[in-house]
Amino acid sequence: MLEHGGRLRRAAQQYGIPLADWLDLSTGINPHAWPVPPVPGAAWHRLPEDDDGLEGAAAAYYGTDQLLPVAGSQPAIQALPALIPGERVTVLAPTYAEHPHAWRGRRLRALAADAVDAAIDDTDVLLLVHPNNPSGARFAREKLLDWHARLAARGGWLVVDEAFIDAAPAESLASAAGRPNLVVLRSLGKFFGLAGARVGFVLAPAELRARLADLLGPWTLSGPARHVARAALTDRGWQDAMRARLEGEAARLAALLRHGGLGEPAGPALFQWVRHADAPTVQDHLARAGILVRRFDAPASLRFGLPPDETGWERLAAALDTLRPRA
């Protein structure tokens, strides 16, 4: 089983700093989560029902009714290789590790973002995290649709994981869902900050959704999760305000990292990624100040999530200032 996140408890033990004293920037989860209201008792007492309005709320939010609720993206990530044919699979490098892990056993090829176009006619499945995690690489919507058309014309598939796209919905392929050989994964974990609810959606042609539903079985989402997800997806006021807030905070984080001498950041609204030849030293320096960030080894790089409050921003700025002479 792959490891995820920055392993806060492990860091607390390693550095001798209590859990409560850490600033955890190791994830790309929105620190300003959608405010969950009280959950009705019936949501806990009854089996989940699929006519509770969740699918309608999701259809309005994503712009398509060609969707299947799932318990976060992970079950779909693991199940799709059993449902999608094709021997040659292309992914980005680096990318979210669960995707290539799920397709192990196929002829897997990992490419830089600028090499994808040349590989389209020599692959059966193109699997993209968009925007990419951790590099933040993104592609024009028209380019993605062109790649899909080229793949589908000869039976190939495009699978796009849009876990981080909610802050920029115009870039999404959600409204194209239902086209043959196109799969789009969405979830409420990152933008809505509801990772613990384990709610996601597979946007795909009806035949694939039916096969996936049979594979996953009934009641994939709990009643409380369905209740919360429906309310979050219909809260347009919160969504609009949060997109504006995240845009500003992403720019602030990028500027802070530049000022700290870490190079030129890249990323979507929820995190920033920087290449750094001495990433282990930078991670260790920040950890000694009780700040946890995610380190990657290939290439050597660091991912910074957004601080949750002004105290967190000030704490990160102070730690980066002490790092500058050593960078």
User: Residue range 290-316: average pLDDT?
Assistant: 97
One domain for residues 18 and 68: no
As a whole number of angstroms, the distance between CA 237 and CA 269 comes to 18
One domain for residues 252 and 217: no
What separation in angstroms does the CA of 53 have from each of 6, 48, 239? Answer: 36, 12, 19
One domain for residues 19 and 82: no
User: Residue range 135-154: average pLDDT?
Assistant: 97
User: Residue range 253-277: average pLDDT?
Assistant: 96
2 belongs to a structural domain: no
In CATH, what number is assigned to the domain containing residue 295?
3.90.1150.10
Number of domains into which the chain is organized: 2
One domain for residues 74 and 210: yes
Which residues are registered as beta bridge partners of 129?
161
Instruction: Tell which residue, 162, 199, 240, has the closest CA to residue 58.
Output: 199
One domain for residues 222 and 273: no
User: Residue range 185-211: average pLDDT?
Assistant: 98
- pLDDT number for residue 325: 54
Instruction: Tell which residue, 135, 123, 48, has the closest CA to residue 89.
Output: 123
Residues 210-246: tens digit of each pLDDT: 999 999 999 999 999 999 999 999 999 999 999 999 9
One domain for residues 81 and 144: yes
- pLDDT number for residue 327: 42
123 belongs to a structural domain: yes
User: Residue range 251-260: average pLDDT?
Assistant: 97
Confidence label for 306 from pLDDT (cuts 50, 70 and 90):
very high
User: Residue range 111-123: average pLDDT?
Assistant: 96
User: Residue range 76-101: average pLDDT?
Assistant: 97
What separation in angstroms does the CA of 15 have from each of 5, 221, 320? Answer: 17, 38, 18
One domain for residues 156 and 277: no
Confidence label for 323 from pLDDT (cuts 50, 70 and 90):
confident
Q: Reply yes or no on whether the pLDDT at 53 is more than 50.
A: yes
One domain for residues 210 and 321: no
One domain for residues 203 and 256: no
User: Residue range 98-105: average pLDDT?
Assistant: 96
Boundary-marking domain end, from 166, 200, 234:
234
Q: Which residues span the domain enclosing 273?
A: 8-33+237-326
Instruction: Tell which residue, 253, 295, 292, has the closest CA to residue 275.
Output: 295
Confidence label for 160 from pLDDT (cuts 50, 70 and 90):
very high
One domain for residues 77 and 182: yes
Q: What is the mean pLDDT of the chain?
A: 95
**Helix pair angle (8-15, 279-288), 10° resolution:** 70
One domain for residues 241 and 229: no
3 belongs to a structural domain: no
Confidence label for 282 from pLDDT (cuts 50, 70 and 90):
very high
User: Residue range 138-157: average pLDDT?
Assistant: 98
Q: Which pTM was predicted? A: 0.95
- pLDDT number for residue 6: 58
Boundary-marking domain end, from 204, 234, 264:
234
Question: For the chain, how many residues are written?
Answer: 327
One domain for residues 185 and 284: no
Boundary-marking domain end, from 218, 234, 250:
234
User: Residue range 65-69: average pLDDT?
Assistant: 98
In CATH, what number is assigned to the domain containing residue 224?
3.40.640.10
1 belongs to a structural domain: no
